[in-house]
A and B are shown apart, each in its own frame.
Chain A
Amino acid sequence: MKIKKNIALSDTGFVFNPASGDSFSVNPIGLEIMKLLQENKGHEVIKKHLLETYSVDKDTIEKDFYDFAKMLEQFKVTETDEKKES
């Protein structure tokens, strides 16, 4: 999964989808994750990074990351990159 090329992501966490006109805001950790996705980092790499950076257990990371990824999918700001995901 990666962030679509046309998605505008500001440093304040404001996300704008120019194709649909939808916009929403993410918190600083959400912004960090989206930026890593923009850099084409894979899910496992991102989860490892979060685990090392924040005081959180692996199960919580798994659950919260899954929820966040699904939310991004629902907002239609992501596209699947099969090579990266496999």
Chain B
Amino acid sequence: MKRKKVNVAVTGLNNVDSPGPGIPVVRGLLDSKEYDVRIIGLSYDALEPGIYMHELIAKTYQIPLPSAGQNSLMERLRYINSIEKIDVIIPNFDAELFNFIKLADTLEMELGIRSFLPTLEQFEERQKYNLPEFGKKYDINIPKSKTIHSVAEIKNLYQEFTYPLVVKGKFYDASVAYNADQATSYFHKISSKWGLPIIIQEFAYGTEVNVTAVGDGRGNTIGAVPMRKQFITDKGKAWAGITLEDGDLMDLTRKLMKNSKWKGPCELEMIRTNEGEIYLIEINPRFPAWVYLAVGAGQNHPEALLKLALGEKVKPFTKYETGKMFIRYSYDMICDLKEFETISTLGEL
């Protein structure tokens, strides 16, 4: 079968100790049996490893940081599209999603660039500080949470929470605090990096399990694969993991997709307590960095997302292989200074 040619732009090319999902997404796309995908990388920093992975990424362009706003991003994408004729764009960072969601219609109408992202309402209602309301709305267990804006609020937390509790940043980072001093320290550390507010969450005892999933925006779960981390870095990132057979997790995922009519990719982070209850602790509105495990287990989620973005009918996956593992590793690429110079000065490579 002749594969259809398609140009896909992907962000999240940092593949460091807290890896972005870009490279795993690219690997899934390149594994496609139906599409001959040419990858256009979009980077924020000249040292993102994906920029130099020429066997995976045909060309990379620097794009402005999310804080520069939608106009700067749109202007840059106009330029990139004038050269590359992008068919589909897949953003992979939480922090950039707001801009891409806001620009989605303009990108499609003006430049013909399609995407398949959560709606702005979905993006907002699953924010960490809105998660308790999200749980109530869709009948899902959520650990008790509170949003705080000042370090002074920590001293009174004992009235509502018992230690340990979890101190979370609005986009990334979470640390378990065993007393108010630790909570204060984490408040400063996380807020200096990701800003305010900080989310305080009840600590749920149990095993963390995650699901990578894709929703079609009409209530159907196109694919879902649950995973348990087997090896965790000091940043809490999975360095090895294994697919699980867990009917309860799958039921909860399908319920969430159906009730919220979730559109696009997501990662559900959950805790299964020793009593067997499942608590949703976070929804990331994008693919996780371990999404290639789903591809390896028989569900190519990045390819499914590409088809959804192109407006094709996608049949939901019905199975995946249990007991499939991923083991991550780091790899030293040898790069020429000339390439670093080119991306640093010209903003494209």
- Tell me whether chain A's interface is mostly helix, strand or loop, or mixed: loop
* Interface hit among A16-24, A53-61, A77-85: A16-24
- B17 is an interface residue with CB less than 8 A from chain A: no
A48 to B139, CA, bound (A): 51
User: A4-25 CB contact bits vs B (8 Å, 1 = yes)?
Assistant: 0010100000001011110000
B126 / chain A contacts, CB cutoff of 8 Å: none
Q: Is the CB of B228 within 8 A of A20?
A: yes
Q: Is the CB of A20 within 8 A of B207?
A: yes
Q: In angstroms, how far is the closest chain B Cβ from the Cβ of A32?
A: 23
A16 / chain B contacts, CB cutoff of 8 Å: 323
Closest to A8 in B: B323
Within 8 A of A (CB), among B241-277: 241-246
Q: In angstroms, how far is the closest chain A Cβ from the Cβ of B231?
A: 12
- B184 is an interface residue with CB less than 8 A from chain A: no
B-side interface residues, number (CB < 8 Å):
12
- B230 is an interface residue with CB less than 8 A from chain A: yes
Q: In angstroms, how far is the closest chain A Cβ from the Cβ of B230?
A: 7
B227 / chain A contacts, CB cutoff of 8 Å: 21
- B81 is an interface residue with CB less than 8 A from chain A: no
Closest to B322 in A: A18
A6 to B242, CA, bound (A): 16
A6 / chain B contacts, CB cutoff of 8 Å: 245
B241 / chain A contacts, CB cutoff of 8 Å: 21
A18 to B244, CA, bound (A): 5
B243 / chain A contacts, CB cutoff of 8 Å: 21
A19 to B242, CA, bound (A): 10
Q: In angstroms, how far is the closest chain B Cβ from the Cβ of A66?
A: 23
Closest to B247 in A: A19
A20 to B228, CA, bound (A): 7
A20 to B244, CA, bound (A): 7
Most buried by A among B241, B243, B322: B322
Q: In angstroms, how far is the closest chain B Cβ from the Cβ of A82?
A: 20
Closest to B242 in A: A21
A18 / chain B contacts, CB cutoff of 8 Å: 244-245, 322-323
A19 / chain B contacts, CB cutoff of 8 Å: 244-246
Please give me the 10 A-B residue pairs with the lowest Cβ-Cβ distance, nearest first.
Answer: A21-B228, A18-B245, A18-B322, A21-B242, A21-B244, A19-B246, A16-B323, A18-B323, A19-B245, A6-B245
Q: Which residues of B contact A (CB under 8 A)?
A: 207, 227-228, 230, 241-246, 322-323
- What are 20 A-B contacts with C-beta separation under 8 Å? A6-B245, A8-B323, A16-B323, A18-B244, A18-B245, A18-B322, A18-B323, A19-B244, A19-B245, A19-B246, A20-B207, A20-B228, A20-B244, A21-B227, A21-B228, A21-B230, A21-B241, A21-B242, A21-B243, A21-B244
15 further A-B pairs in the complex, CB-CB below 8 A; given A18-B244, A20-B244, A21-B242: A6-B245, A8-B323, A16-B323, A18-B245, A18-B322, A19-B244, A19-B245, A19-B246, A20-B228, A21-B227, A21-B228, A21-B230, A21-B241, A21-B243, A21-B244
